[in-house]
Structure 1
């Protein structure tokens, strides 16, 4: 099996609310939309799929767990000012925001929760994360 991720699928309570947040609010461009799913390109050959809980459950055969998901999605930026601007934009859209701060590992990051509580880390990392190369 190739070492890669092509889709990240999140089960959401209300696809329309997710669309309002990501598309209408943040300005992201969908590549596919239906009543129960919204697909957004988030990297070269990577799609974020926001799927209704009902569709998600029917497909995988089990309902998702409730509560804070034990994962974060990350968006890396070049400067602390950019981090603060994205967190402010998310807050203006009604997201719960944990303000950015300088971290022990050398970066600067904060978090926001989307309408379903999925946590996005907005960060400046001390290394060059834009040049990761997959092993061959």
Structure 2
């Protein structure tokens, strides 16, 4: 099997709220939309973020835990600290809950976290290492 990821699916409680946050608030573009069921957003050349309504998801994959902090984080890497601060501000304006303001991290980067309408944690970061640089467009 190839070493790659094609689709990241987040099970959400309210597709309309997710759409309002990601599309209307953050300004992302929908790749595919089935109202009330699923919203897919291209987040990389060959990578989609799928926001899947809980009831529809559970019919296919079984019960999905809810409540608390999901045991996953997603990251959006940028080139400058100013871009990190601006990204966190945009997320707050779109309705995100601030989890952590951006700070200089002991691993050498600068990052902060927000939670989307379903509590999924997003890190907005500058990672000044060669690996971090390799993630930028």
* TM-score clears 0.5: yes
Partner of 2:107: 105
Q: How far 1:27 sits from its partner (Å)?
A: 0.7
SS at match of 1:57: helix
In the alignment, the residues of structure 1 paired with residue 5 and residue 67 of structure 2 have an alpha-carbon distance, to the nearest angstrom, of: 24
1:59 maps to what in 2? 60
- Residue in 2 that maps onto 1:49: 50
Kindly state the Cα deviation for residue 70 of structure 1 after the two structures are TM-superposed: 1.0
Query: C-alpha displacement at 1:25, in angstroms?
Result: 0.8
Q: Which residue of 1 aligns with 2:134?
A: 131
Cα distance in 2, alignment partners of residues 64 and 40 from structure 1: 23
* Structure 1 moving runs of 4+ over 3 Å: none
1:126 CA displacement: 1.5
Q: CA deviation at 1:62?
A: 2.1
- Checking the alignment, whether the CA contact within 8 Å between 2:42 and 2:49 is kept in structure 1 is yes
User: Is there any run of 5+ residues in structure 1 with no aligned partner, and where?
Assistant: none
Q: Distance in 1 between matches of 2:134 and 2:104?
A: 23
SS at match of 1:11: strand
Deviation at 1:67, TM superposition (A): 1.4
Give the secondary structure class of the aligned counterpart of 1:56: helix
| Conserved 8 A contact 1:57-1:64 | no
User: For the Cα contact (< 8 Å) 1:102–1:109, is it kept in 2?
Assistant: yes
Tell me, in whole angstroms, the C-alpha distance in 2 between the residues paired with 1:104 and 1:60. Answer: 38
8 Å CA contact 2:25, 2:93 repeated in 1: no
TM-score, normalised to structure 1, is 0.92
* Structure 1 match to 2:25: 25
Work out the number of aligned pairs and report it.
132
Q: CA RMSD in A?
A: 1.1
What is the Cα deviation at residue 117 of structure 1? Answer: 0.5
- Give the equivalent residue in structure 1 for 2:7: 7
